[in-house]
Structure 1
Amino acid sequence: MTEFFHRKIERNTIGFVLAIVAVASIGGFVEIAPLFTINETVEDAPDMRVYTPLELAGRNIYIREGCYACHSQMIRTLRDEVERYGPYSLAVESKYDHPMLWGSKRTGPDLARLGNKYSDAWQVAHLINPRDVVPGSVMPKYGWLMRNDLKMTDLSLHLKAQSDVGVPYTQAMIDEASKDAYAQATPDSPGTGGLTERYGAATQVRAFDGDPSRVTEMDALVAYLQILGHLTEAAYSKPEPEGE
């Protein structure tokens, strides 16, 4: 019976095309329909803030070096994940992530709640040689980040590109991007006042790589890692689900 059905439909070109369209439409509907309720499924987070230019530069380095291939940023609602990593991830936390870095493959641990879990010194040591702080680590070394000066001349263009896809950067943020990146990694610079005025008093301002005399790619990546999970505190006000 099945063989007869396949033979019949495969010889009918128009019928076969219509069958393909019907099956594809079902899949498309399942993926597209939830988008019509997006305003109901994405949580409200009045305290949500944008990445600073230095943090955004660090995120770009994180993507450039392929960190997302081994580390997800999506804690699921399972009890063991919540107990290990912290509150499960909310959709609103990725509101300004272009592209998003959720993922499902974990060669290394999930990083969604990594921010301020370890000191800057630990993060730097771990990136220079992971085995110095985690003996069994299989993570590659990224010591060159400490030697590479951060390119800051094009940061305004990066913020402008993010603004074009909906991230609410003001024109002042875009215009002052290079100065703000320098100020965030150089605590004694005169630009820190403008930085905190634009991005908030809670902005982390310090020499992330331990050397305030220059701004390196290490500064940027550590600044990004130290803000993960803290662009909004919405997740910490949600009750933990019962484990499956």
Structure 2
Amino acid sequence: MARFHRKLERSAIGFVLAIIGVSAIGGFVEIAPLFTIDETVEKAPDMRLYTPLELAGRNIYTREGCYACHSQMIRTLRDEVERYGPYSLAVESQYDHPMLWGSKRTGPDLARVGGKYSDAWHVAHLVNPRDVVPESVMPRYGWLQRNTLSTDDLGRHLAAQRALGVPYTQDMVTNAASDAAGQSNPDGTGASGVKQRYGEATNIRAFDGNPDRLTEMDALVAYLQILGKLTDAAHRQTASSKE
């Protein structure tokens, strides 16, 4: 074998051909599954879209590097399913650009955190994690409650997502800024438009407790509260497997 390697390394053409061959095999292994993607991704007719406020929260989540400590992918292992809920399905991430599956768990997996805690709990946890989880090593994010959420570019964010295949309508893109404000103010004039465009199941409330001001805290909590709630496909699959 050593002789073969020495001979191969002395032949530039042979060495280049060997590299191309190995690269081709690796490329084929990675690309071939994409041809069966329609068969491997589950169907979810009830799949919802992120609202502009939830998408803004996702952007903040990414900006602050939350994915570095929290994964969003529950494996099929029994201990993970018992702790976090049904294992993650590919369809649940079809509108995530980029996906935030992750593999590092300094903190718990957040794939199904939506609805698990109240908005007040999330706000308190983000302001000072030790107040609700004494052993937490998570940094404080209280300043998100003081930061006014910038909504001027939300329409462009939705348009960019649409270019990647997320089925946002032009109406959603046009009304992105007003829908973000409307979702965090249930008594405001914009709340009805949010439900009309994104569905009756949309969370509409003052996420940070103050409906008169739209903050980055509103956006992040809105995003956390929708995780695992965009579709019920995983829970349906679990229920059918038990029958």
Kindly provide the amino acid, as one letter, of the partner of residue 214 in structure 1. Answer: R
**Aligned partners of 1:137 and 1:168: how far apart in 2?**
38
**Aligned partners of 2:24 and 2:2: how far apart in 1?**
25
Q: Quote the residue 1:90 is aligned against.
A: 89
Alignment of 1:3 with 2:2, yes or no, is: yes
Secondary structure in 2 matching 1:238: helix
Kindly provide the amino acid, as one letter, of the partner of residue 124 in structure 1. Answer: V
Alignment of 1:45 with 2:80, yes or no, is: no
Measure how far apart 1:5 and its partner are.
1.1
**Aligned partners of 1:180 and 1:12: how far apart in 2?**
64
Q: Quote the residue 2:147 is aligned against.
A: 148
Alignment of 1:210 with 2:209, yes or no, is: yes
**Aligned partners of 2:227 and 2:124: how far apart in 1?**
18
Q: Deviations over 1:32-84 (max 9, x none)?
A: 10000000000000000110000000000000000000001000000000000
**Aligned partners of 1:3 and 1:201: how far apart in 2?**
68
**Aligned partners of 1:103 and 1:70: how far apart in 2?**
8
Secondary structure in 1 matching 2:18: helix
1:92–1:141 Cα change, 3 Å: same
Secondary structure in 2 matching 1:239: helix
**Aligned partners of 2:90 and 2:123: how far apart in 1?**
29
**Aligned partners of 2:239 and 2:64: how far apart in 1?**
33
Whether the aligned pair in 2 keeps the contact of 1:123 and 1:222 (CA below 8 Å) is yes
Measure how far apart 1:213 and its partner are.
1.2
Q: Deviations over 1:178-209 (max 9, x none)?
A: 00000000111011111100000000000000
Q: Deviations over 1:152-174 (max 9, x none)?
A: 11110110111111100000000
Q: Point out where structure 1 has 5 or more consecutive residues left out of the alignment.
A: none
**Aligned partners of 2:13 and 2:188: how far apart in 1?**
70
Kindly provide the amino acid, as one letter, of the partner of residue 78 in structure 1. Answer: L
Measure how far apart 1:239 and its partner are.
2.6
Q: What is the Cα-based RMSD across aligned positions, in Å?
A: 1.2
Measure how far apart 1:3 and its partner are.
1.9
Q: Quote the residue 1:110 is aligned against.
A: 109
* Aligned positions of 1:143-182 closer than 5 A: 143-182=142-181
Secondary structure in 2 matching 1:14: helix
Secondary structure in 2 matching 1:81: helix
Secondary structure in 1 matching 2:57: helix
Alignment TM-score, normalising by the size of structure 2: 0.97
Alignment of 1:233 with 2:232, yes or no, is: yes
**Aligned partners of 1:27 and 1:141: how far apart in 2?**
43
**Aligned partners of 1:127 and 1:52: how far apart in 2?**
21
**Aligned partners of 2:239 and 2:5: how far apart in 1?**
50
Measure how far apart 1:6 and its partner are.
1.1
Alignment TM-score, normalising by the size of structure 1: 0.97
Measure how far apart 1:241 and its partner are.
11
Kindly provide the amino acid, as one letter, of the partner of residue 113 in structure 2. Answer: L
Whether the aligned pair in 2 keeps the contact of 1:87 and 1:240 (CA below 8 Å) is no
Q: Deviations over 1:111-137 (max 9, x none)?
A: 000001000000000000000000000
Whether the aligned pair in 2 keeps the contact of 1:209 and 1:222 (CA below 8 Å) is yes
1:9–1:30 Cα change, 3 Å: same
Kindly provide the amino acid, as one letter, of the partner of residue 119 in structure 1. Answer: S
Kindly provide the amino acid, as one letter, of the partner of residue 185 in structure 1. Answer: S
Whether the aligned pair in 2 keeps the contact of 1:79 and 1:241 (CA below 8 Å) is no
Equivalenced residues, count: 241
Kindly provide the amino acid, as one letter, of the partner of residue 110 in structure 2. Answer: L
**Aligned partners of 2:190 and 2:206: how far apart in 1?**
14
Secondary structure in 1 matching 2:167: coil
Measure how far apart 1:238 and its partner are.
1.1
Measure how far apart 1:240 and its partner are.
7.6
